[in-house]
Structures are given as C-alpha cells and as structure tokens.
Amino acid sequence: MQKNIVILISGRGSNMEAIVAAAIPGARIAGVISNRPDAAGLNFAAERGIPTRVVDHKAYPDREAFDAALAAAIDALAPDLVVLAGFMRVLTDGFVSRYAGRLLNIHPSLLPSFPGLHTHRRALEAGVRVHGTTVHFVTPTLDCGPIVVQAVVPVLPGDDEATLAARVLVQEHRIYPQAVRWFVDGRLSFDAEERVRVRDELVGPAGWTVPPVEA
C-alpha cells in the first residue's frame, strides 16, 4: 500500500525536487504546500501533476491560527509523512505533536552543532574542518529531534558561505530521499532513548552509510 507524502516548502524547494525525482517505490507525493504564494517550487510540482496549495502565513493573526489552517490543509491529503523542505516557519508545539513520528526536516549542519540560521557562516567562523547536513524527526525543541541520517563534507581552504552551502546541498539531495525511503519501507524505529534506528542499514567498508544500489 502506498504511503502519502506531503511536502512543505517556502521557496524553490530543491529538496522537494530531489524527493520527487527519486520516484520512491511505495510513496505517493500527495501534495506540496507553501506558506508563500510566489514559491517557485509550486510551479515545479504543478507541472508534474502534483496537487499544490498555498496557506499564506500573512493571512493569519498569529502562529497558532496559521498552524491550524496548515494542519487542516495537510490532513485533507491524508498524510503518512510530512516533509519540511526549506519550509521557513517555526512551528508551534501543538502542530509538531500532531505529527509526532511522521514529521521530517533537513538542516544544513551536523546537528547538534549549529542549530538555527546562518549555519555555513557559523561553521566557517568556528574554523571546523568538516560540515554537513542532518535529516531528523521534528520535535518541539528547534533542530533537536532524533537524527535519521547525516552527510559530511570537508571545509576547504578558501571556502566562503556560498561554496560551502553548495557542497552541502549536493549531500542534502542525496540523503533526504534516502531518509524518506527508509520511512516508507518501514525501516525506521526508536530505541528506549528515542534515538532512531535503521533496520538493515547498509554500511560500507569505511563505516559510512551507503544508499542501496538500484537494479
């Protein structure tokens, strides 16, 4: 039975594009929702026959009212999984709790390092030698949910925010579809400490997670 995926975006939605392009077996992109009417990703989705919806946060008096309207739009699509793909709104605790265990986000750092904004700038200022990206389940505490998968990139001499961000984005597009596929395949679970475990995770000789090779 297919699982319905609802993707939330605020702009281009390049991670949304990567998930759509992955054509994950057993997954159906039930809809793409944006809080911005001018989000470029809406055109990408519509051109591929994916239902789109705008829930403009500016039309609501407060965060709670917006989240209630957003939840109604999501629930109309009967989601099994809600995916944040560059969705630039802080969600209320009630909203997050409503989708507990089925709300994924991707963050452009190796959490728990550099939560919040301006991650690439802060990584460069800190002088770290590696940087990366993290897919995690969303919890009420910002950027602190259980980690599903991470990807590491080097910080190279001469890097600026743009070059580092571009290198990280390549890895975002690789691991986000992978995490969604693990969810769809029923391979994700939580241990007693609420850490994520991946059943039958493939690991290469160097110890890194390896996506499955498609036939």
Annotated active-site positions, please?
107
| DSSP reduced 3-state for 15 | helix
| DSSP reduced 3-state for 7 | strand
Closest CA to 148 of 106, 96, 205: 106
Task: Pull the structure tokens for residue 78.
Answer: 């009967």
Interatomic CA distance for residues 185 and 47, integer angstroms: 27
E strand segments, the chain: 3-9, 27-34, 52-54, 81-84, 103-107, 130-137, 147-154, 188-190, 196-198
Q: 43 CB contacts (<8 Å, ≥6 apart)?
A: none
Place of tokens 């904004």: 117
Task: Pull the structure tokens for residue 85.
Answer: 């793909």
Q: What is the amino acid identity at position 87?
A: F
